[in-house]
Amino acid sequence: MTAIPRGRTRRTALVTATWALAVTGAMALTGCGGGDDPDAGTNGVGKLPAARIESRTRAAADGAAAVRLSGTVVTSGRTYRLDMRLKADGGTGSVTSQGVAFRLLRIGQELYLKAGADFWDHADGNGNGGGDGAVGKLGGKYVKVPQGDPAYKKFSGFTDKDVLLDGLLTLHGTLATEGHHDQAGVPTIRITGDKGSGGTLDVSLRGTPYPLRLVRAGGAGTLRFSDWGRNFALTEPATSDTVDYGKQLPAS
């Protein structure tokens, strides 16, 4: 039998020991493959109590320069489908209710509404319909909504970031966390009110802890939030595309 040189034996033992230490370290970092830390590499809010997560995500939402929200809101028995982009000085987007869609644009205090003839149909209360008389001229145009008109308060809320988020980002009842989830490829921590009956909110674990998905209590709609902090332009409509109806719009 050929004898193995003593130097080679020592080198083999050293390599074996080094390899064993590397494997042990890797297993410790990965939890042996079965105990991965879901908060590793995240912003850390997943480790906080639910109330602190809610506080952090509300602060993040309030501090963001802009946001896009889409989904449904149910209020007073009516369902509104929203796709709105909002920032401090206004907002723009579409709203659909009872199968009728319209667009909203607010720049500062100036609010415009654009809708087809079906929206204005019978709005004048005289049965003229959307294609006849003064009301018929509103279809397809940006109509400037007077600030004293009841429609101004109703519709401007859809374009007001602070008002809309304050009214929506609310969970009811006792808060708790409900595990880690994923929204469009972004890891989230979910918090709930009264085990979900008071609503659920998914909060981003990547970067700033923005809210990403809200399921409102009592089946009052589901909303997704995106484009946090991404600025966009608000452009006043052309004069040729605008109608100033007067002090009060037709009831609709």
Q: Note the CATH architecture for domain 45-243.
A: Clam (2.50)
Q: Is the dihedral of CA 169, 175, 180, 181 positive or negative?
A: negative
Q: What is the pLDDT along the chain (252 residues), one digit of tens a residue?
A: 555 555 555 555 554 444 444 444 444 444 444 458 888 999 999 999 999 999 999 999 999 999 999 999 998 889 999 999 999 999 999 999 988 899 999 999 999 999 988 887 745 444 444 445 556 678 889 999 998 888 898 899 999 999 999 999 999 999 999 999 999 999 999 999 999 999 999 999 999 999 999 999 999 999 999 999 999 999 999 998 998 876 666 555
Note whether 203 and 212 are within 8 A (CB).
Answer: yes
Confidence at residue 249, expressed as pLDDT on a 0 to 100 scale: 64
Dist. CA 109–CA 90, nearest whole Å: 8
Q: Tell me, what amino acid is at 121?
A: D
Kindly report the three-state secondary structure assignment for every residue of the chain: CCCCCHHHHHHHHHHHHHHHHHHHHHHHHHHHHCCCCCCCCCCCHHHCCHHHHHHHHHHHHHHCCEEEEEEEEEECCEEEEEEEEEECCEEEEEEEECCEEEEEEEECCEEEEEECHHHHCCCCCCCCCCCCHHHHCCCCCEEEECCCCHHHHHHHHHHCHHHHHHHHCCCCCCEEEEEEEEECCEEEEEEEEHHHCCCEEEEECCCCCCEEEEECHHHCCEEEEECCCCCCCCCCCCHHHEECCCCCCCCC
* Per-domain boundaries in the chain: 45-243
Dist. CA 205–CA 226, nearest whole Å: 14
Confidence at residue 118, expressed as pLDDT on a 0 to 100 scale: 83
Dist. CA 92–CA 160, nearest whole Å: 10
Dist. CA 17–CA 183, nearest whole Å: 43
